[in-house]
Amino acid sequence: MSRDRTVDVLVVGAGPAGSVTAKHAAKNGARTLMIEKRQEIGSPVRCGEGIARAWLDELGIVPDKRWISHQVSGARVISPAGHVVTLTEKMAGNEVGYVIERDNFDRMLAEEAAAAGAEVMVKTSAVEVLRSGGRIAGVRAKHMGQTFDIRAKVVIAADGFESQLGRWAGIDTSLKPSDINVCFEYTLKHVDIDPRYNDFYVGSCAPGGYVWVFIKGPDSANVGIGVQLSKIKPGERGAAKRYLDAFIAKHPNLSKGSPIREVAGAVSCCQPLDSVAADGIMLVGDAARQIDPLTGGGVANSCRAGKVAGEVAARAVSSGDTSKEFFQAYEKGWRAKFEDQMYRNWMAKEKLVTLDDATFDKACEVLAEAELEVVNTLEILRLIQRKYPELIKEFEDLIK
Amino acid sequence: MTRKPAIDRAFCMHCGACVGACPENALSLEEVWIEFLSNCTNCGICARACPSGAIFMEGGK
C-alpha cells in the first residue's frame, strides 16, 4: 500500500524553527504536516540552553517551570587572567535570562504545533526533494524502512545546522570554516557555582569562541565550548572536546562535578544569507543560518522567523501563489526583526576572533573597573580607547 | 592512495556537525549514524569539525 500523500505545508524538522512555523501555518488554516527524523523530539539536545527573556512575549510563549531550569540575574565575561566584567540584566537590556531544559522546551513547542492542528510524524527522514516544473513540490521521506512521497504546496526546511534540504533545493547555505563554531558540552552535577550569573570565558581557552558556564540549578551547570573551525588544524582530532576537557581540568570547582549528559554539535556564525527561499520552499532557523553570529544563540531568531514563515506559508496556500516572489513577505519579515543585529554581531565577531589573551585581559580590566550603566558597544570601545588606545585601532571604523 | 575520511562509530555522538560543515553536502546523518556519500572530495573538513574525534583521515600520506 502506498503511503504517498499530499498536504498544504510540509515542515521538515521539529526543532523550535519547525514547530513554531508548523503552529502558525496550522493556526492560519493550512493543512500542515511536520516530520522529524529523530524518534524523540527534543532529544538529543544540541544547545547551551541559555536564552534571553525579552522575545518570549512576542511569540506568546508563557514561561513555565516545565522547561525553565533556572533564572539568572546577569552574565559575566571573564578574561584569561581572571578580570571579570559583570553585566546585570538591566545593563544587558533583557538579553540575559533563562537557562532552559531544551528537550522539554522543544517538546512544548511541538505540542503547541499539534494543538494548533498540525500533524506530527517522528522517526521520519526527508531523503530528497521532489520537483515539479522547476519548483520544489515536496520530499521523498523514509519511515522505518518504507519510502514514500509527501507532496506539498509549501516545503519548510527547518532541518537545522545540517541544512541539507535547502542545499538539495539549490539554495546555497554552505559555510566558510571561519563561520562555523564546533561545540561540545557537559551538564555537570555537584559543581560549585554562583547561581546569579551565566559566565562566558574568552581567550585561548576557546580559540575563536568561548567557554560557557550556564547555571541549571544550585549545584548544576551546562558547561560547554565553541571553537572556530578555521582555528582547528588538520589532524587535531576531537578539538572541541579536548579544549573543553582542558578548561574543566583547570577549574576545580567544575572538575569536582559529574557529567550527567554529553552533547556535541556545531553552529553557524555567518552574515545573513542573501536568500532563504525559492519557488515552493522557505528555510527557517539554523537551516537558514539565522543564528546570532556573536553568541551562537539561535532559539530566539528561529522562533521569531518561524512565526513569520508559518503565517506567510498559510497565506501563500490560500492565495494559490507559492512562488519565491510571494515568499519575499517572509524575507522582509525576518530581516526586519534581526538582520541588522546579525550583521553587526558578525562584524564584532570578526574582530573579536583576532584578539590575543593580553588584549582580552586589558579590555576586561578596563570594563571591570568602569561599572557600566548600560551595555553599549560604542561606550565600551571609548572606555577602552581612553586607557589602551592601541587596542582600539582595529575597531576604529566602528567608533566613527 | 588518497587520504580519505573514516569514522570510529564508538566516538560518534550523531550531532551532525560534519554534515553542516561539509561544503559538498556529502555526508548524511541518518537517525543515529553518519554516511559518507559518493560526492566526497576528501577535503577533510569533517575530520577537523568533528567535536568528539570520531572522524579522522586515513590512508595515503
pLDDT of A315: 98
Provide the percentage of residues in chain B whose pLDDT is more than 90: 85
Question: What pLDDT score does A384 carry?
Answer: 79
Q: State the Cα–Cα distance between residues B52 and A298, nearest whole angstrom.
A: 22
**ipTM summary value:** 0.94
Measured CA distances, A291 to A266, A297, B32 (Å): 11, 6, 25
Rounded Cα distance, A204 and A208, in Å: 8
Least Cα separation, residue A87 to chain B (angstroms): 30
Residue B16 pLDDT level (bands cut at 50, 70, 90): very high
Which of A164, A165, A273 to probe by mutation at the B interface, max B CB count within 10 Å?
Answer: A164
Considering only CB atoms, B48 lies closest to which of A123, A234, A242, namely A234
pLDDT at A375 over 70: no
Which of B4, B22, B25 to mutate against chain A (most A CBs within 10 Å)?
A: B25
Kindly identify which residue of chain A lies nearest to residue B12, measuring between CA atoms.
A264
A61-75, A319-333, A363-377: segment of lowest average pLDDT: A363-377
Amino acid of residue A221:
A
Nearest CA in chain B to A40: B31
Q: 526546511: which residue's cell?
A: A157
Distance of CA B40 to the CA centre of its chain: 9
Q: DSSP letter string over A151-188?
A: EEEEEEE--GGG-HHHHHTT------GGGEEEEEEEEE
CA A216-A222-A223 angle, 5° bins: 145
What's the average model confidence in pLDDT over B1-26?
A: 94
What's the pLDDT band for A377 if we cut at 50, 70, 90?
low
All CATH 3.50.50.60 domain ranges in chain A, comma separated: 5-47+103-175+272-346
Per-residue pLDDT, A130: 98
Instruction: Write the pLDDT tens digit of every residue in A6-22.
Output: 999 999 999 999 999 99
CATH classification (class only), A5-47+103-175+272-346: alpha beta
Which pLDDT score is estimated for A373?
65
Contact call for B17 and A266, based on CB within 8 A: yes
Q: Is the pLDDT of residue B19 over 80?
A: yes
User: Would the pLDDT of A376 be above 70?
Assistant: no
* Residue written as grid cell 552535577: A189
| Among chain B residues, CA nearest to A267 | B17
pLDDT of res. A369: 80
Of B29, B44, B51, the CB nearest to A234: B44
Residue A137: what residue type? A
Predicted pLDDT of residue A40: 95
**Across the interface, do B13 and A268 touch by the CB < 8 Å criterion?**
no
- For A114-149, what is each residue's pLDDT tens digit? 999 999 999 999 999 999 999 999 999 999 999 999
Mean pLDDT taken over chain B: 93
Residue A70: pLDDT band by 50, 70, 90 thresholds? very high
Model confidence at A294, pLDDT cuts 50, 70, 90, reads very high
Q: Which three three-digit cell numbers place residue A361?
A: 585581559
Tens of pLDDT, residues A164-200: 999 999 999 999 999 999 999 999 999 999 999 999 9
* Cell output for A137: 513540490
Looking at residue A54, its pLDDT comes to: 86
Within 8 A of B5 by CB-CB distance, chain A residues are none
Task: Report d(CA A306, CA A301) in Å as an integer.
Answer: 8
Q: How many CA atoms lie within 13 A of A341 on its CB side?
A: 16
Contact assessment for residue A36 and residue A124, using Cβ atoms and an 8 Å cutoff: yes
CATH number of B4-58: 3.30.70.20
Q: Which residue has the cell 540584566?
A: A89
Q: Could you tell me the end-to-end alpha-carbon distance of chain A, in angstroms, rounded to an integer?
A: 67
Residues of A in contact with B25 (CB under 8 A): 164, 167-168, 174
Q: At A193, list the grid cell.
A: 557555582
* Mean pLDDT, residues A257-279 taken together: 97
Measure A221 CA to nearest chain B CA, in Å: 20
Distance from chain centroid for Cα A391:
30
Q: For residue A107, what pLDDT is reported?
A: 98
Q: Which member of B28, B48, B52 has the closest CB to residue A184?
A: B52
Task: Provide the β-strand partners of residue A181.
Answer: A228, A267
DSSP state letter for B16: -
* Nearest-CB residue to B16 (from A125, A160, A167): A160
Using CB atoms, pick whichever of B11, B31, B50 lies closest to residue A37.
B31
Q: Are A244 and A216 in contact (CB under 8 A)?
A: no
Dihedral sign (CA A371, A372, A377, A380): negative
Interfacial B residues in 2-61 facing A (CB < 8 Å): 11, 13-17, 19-21, 23, 25, 28-31, 44-45, 47-54, 56-57
The count of CB pairs under 8 A between chains A and B is 101
Q: Tell me: pLDDT of A378 over 80.
A: no
Find chain B residues with C-beta within 8 A of A268's C-beta: 20
Put simply, the answer to whether A266 touches B15 (Cβ < 8 Å) is: yes
Residues, chain B? 61
pLDDT at A160: 97
Cβ-contact A179, A54 below 8 angstroms: no
CA of B38 to nearest chain A CA: how many angstroms apart? 15
Taking the C-alpha atoms of residue A4 and residue A359, their distance in angstroms, rounded to an integer, is 59
Task: Give strand ranges (E) for A13-94.
Answer: 32-35, 50-52, 68-71, 74-78, 84-88
Domain A72-98+177-268: which CATH class?
Answer: alpha beta
Q: What percent of chain A has pLDDT over 90?
A: 84
* Strand blocks (E) in chain B: 4-7, 27-29, 34-36, 55-58
pLDDT of amino acid A163: 96
Residue in this structure with the C-alpha cell 576557546, named with its chain if needed: A206
Residue A217 has which C-alpha cell? 540549578
How, if at all, do strands A5-12 and A32-35 pair? parallel
Q: What would the pLDDT profile of A219-233 be if each residue is shown by its tens digit? A: 999 999 999 999 999
pLDDT at A392: 75
Neighbours of A134 (CB within 10 A): 9
Q: Where does CATH 3.30.9.10 sit in chain A?
A: 72-98+177-268
Q: Which residues of A touch B (CB under 8 A)?
A: 37-39, 44, 46, 123, 125, 160-164, 167-168, 174-175, 177, 180, 182-184, 229, 232-242, 262-266, 268, 286
For residue B54, the distance in angstroms to the closest alpha carbon of chain A comes to: 7
Q: Of A160, A154, A170, whose CA–CA distance to A10 is shortest? A: A154
Give tens-digit pLDDT for A320-339.
999 999 999 999 999 999 99
